[in-house]
Each structure stands twice: as C-alpha cells, then as structure tokens.
Amino acid sequence: MLMAFCGLTAVLCGAKLSEGLFFGSFLSMSSTAVVSKFLVEKCTINSIYGQVTIGTLILQDCAVGLLFALLPVLGGNSGLLHAIMSVARLVLMMSIFLVFSYTLSMSFLPRFLKLMVQLSAQTNELYQLSTVAFCLLLAWGSDKLGVSLELGSFVAGVMISTTDFAQYTLQQVESIRNLFAALFLASIGMLIHVQFLWNHADILLASVILVVIVKTIIVTGVVKVFAYSFRTSFSVGLSLAQIGEFAFVLLSRASSLHLVEGRMYLLLLGTTAFSLITTPLMFKTIPAVLHFGNLMHWFPSESI
C-alpha cells in the first residue's frame, strides 16, 4: 500500500514513478530486530497485537529479496523479463531453503541440541557457541541462496523454538543477544553524517514525524480491514511506525543504481536512524495512548 501511495504521489508531483515505488518499498520496512526485542521485554509477544506485529515483520523480511530483485528494474538497468526471472528464482530458492530447514528441524536439530546439553553439563559455553554457530550457519546459507539474511536468522530461531530446548536456549543466549543489539545500534550511529543532519535538523525532524504518523495510520487501517479491534490495530500501527534496518541495505543498493543520490541519500539515512531511535519511546507510549483512548471512548478496553 505504501508503494502504491508513494508511486501515485510521485506521479502527481511530477517525479518518476520508479522513484515513488522505491520510496514506498523503503518506507514499508519495519525493524524486526528492534521491535521483536521490545515485544519480548514487555512480555507482549504472545498477545494478539504481538502476534500480528511479528507476522507482519516476517512477511516484510520475506519481501526483502523480492525488492532486491526489482530494484534494477526501477533503476532502469534491466528489463521486465529479467525481473520476472529473478523473482521466480528467488521464490524457488526460498522454497528449497524452507523445506530444508523444516526437514532439519524434524530430524537433526533436536538430537544436536540434546547432545550439546549433555556435553555442556559442567559449563554452558559449548552450548552457547554451538547454538550461535547453528544460527549463523543457517543465516549464511540463506544469504548464499539469495534469500534474506534476516529471514535465515529468523528461521533458525523458529527451528529452535520447536524443540524441547527452546526456553533453555533463550536463557543461555540472552547475554549474547544484548551484545548483538548493542553492536547493531552502534553500527547505525556510524552511518550518520552529523554535520549534514545538523544543518537540516528541521527537515529531518519533519521527516521522522511524517514517517511515524503516516505509517501508524496506514498500518492501523490495513490491520483493521482484517477485522481486528481498533485497539489492536492501533497498537500494531505504533509498533511498526519506524523504518527498519534493512532499509539501509536497500538504500545502499538504490544509491548504486542512481535511484537516490546526494542529499536525499543522507536525509533518508538520518530519517531511518532516528525513526529507529524513536522506537523505544513509541513502545513506552503505547499503554498511555491506549489508556487515553479508553478515557476518550475511542475504543473498548478489551485485551490487546
């Protein structure tokens, strides 16, 4: 929907349709890493809105590979036939990867984790290393197949969650998870061009506010169409009201294809980074906003 909205807006404003479609795909990405972390911390991942949010994030991650296949077409560097072939190949690789992962989770993985637990009777380091190595190996494999790296990581986590060692594994890797989260946020900071953003702070602030408002409204509307309560829909909208980390990769690729250049590239980088920074604040404001909505009788006080 964002792609269609941005494409139409670009045409009406006299810009190229390809640029509008790219901006729509760019803005549609939300952060799986950040959002899922806060859902777990707030113990809302098993709620209705938590499950809808996670499901939406999974679909976005699956679509990343398709967007990469379409970028050369938007940049005018390849034809429609080439794009169709790229998408077909990606769907085939994704199917192979998912079938392989399912087979692995049903046969090899439970035995492997059980063996690691037995070998780690006195120390937990071996189990931690083996679990992380398994996830990284699966992520590497998905990347080599041309499937989303993040999708491979997510599938690895789902595979572990289907075993009897899911809770034990989560406890063992919690410290490593926090370390990776810190490194992720640090890497975002390294991308920022401070001087440029300081000189254009007003535009940056307006862009971030616009992204949060527009994404909240659109996501809320889409979720509401599927017969969820307004309370649930609004919670999902607020949770996804940021631009995800994969937008950095899309932006880099688009820059090499000359879809975005110069100041626009730097502005989109800053908007993405600061929208991610606002995510903790958004999660903290969700209960207050919902409570205010109840007082104003915007929606009933059912569970989300």
pLDDT at 73: 66
User: Is the same domain home to 205 and 294?
Assistant: yes
257 is a domain residue: yes
Task: Locate 144 and state its tokens.
Answer: 């080599």
64 is a domain residue: no
Domain extent for 81: 76-179
Among 158, 179, 200, the domain boundary falls at: 179
62 is a domain residue: no
Model confidence over 52-107: pLDDT tens digits? 888 888 888 777 767 766 666 666 555 556 667 777 777 788 888 889 988 998 88
Helices (H), 14-47: 17-28, 32-41
pLDDT at 83: 62
User: Is the same domain home to 148 and 245?
Assistant: no
**Segment-wise mean pLDDT, segments of 10 residues, the chain, 304 residues:** 70 71 80 80 81 84 71 61 72 85 89 85 80 88 78 82 84 78 73 79 86 87 85 85 80 75 80 83 78 68 51
pLDDT at 82: 67
pLDDT at 202: 85
* Packed helices 32-41 and 279-295: angle between N→C axes, nearest 10 degrees: 60
Category of 146 on φ-ψ map: left (φ > 0), alpha (ψ -120 to 50) or beta: left
User: Is the same domain home to 205 and 285?
Assistant: yes
Q: Tokens 């964002």 label which residue? A: 2
Whole-model pTM: value is: 0.70
Model confidence over 14-43: pLDDT tens digits? 767 777 777 777 788 888 878 887 887 777
User: String of b and e for 202-232 (b: at least 16 CB within 10 Å)?
Assistant: eebeebbeebbeebbebbbebbbeeebbbbb
184 is a domain residue: no
Domain count, the chain: 2
pLDDT at 269: 83
User: Is the same domain home to 28 and 94?
Assistant: no
pLDDT at 300: 57
Query: Coil, helix or strand for 110?
Result: helix
**Half-sphere exposure of residue 35, counting CA atoms within 13 Å on the CB side?**
28
User: Is the same domain home to 157 and 209?
Assistant: no
Among 117, 149, 179, the domain boundary falls at: 179
Helices (H), 200-278: 201-225, 230-239, 246-256, 262-277
Task: Locate 174 and state its tokens.
Answer: 């919690």
pLDDT at 56: 85
pLDDT at 183: 78
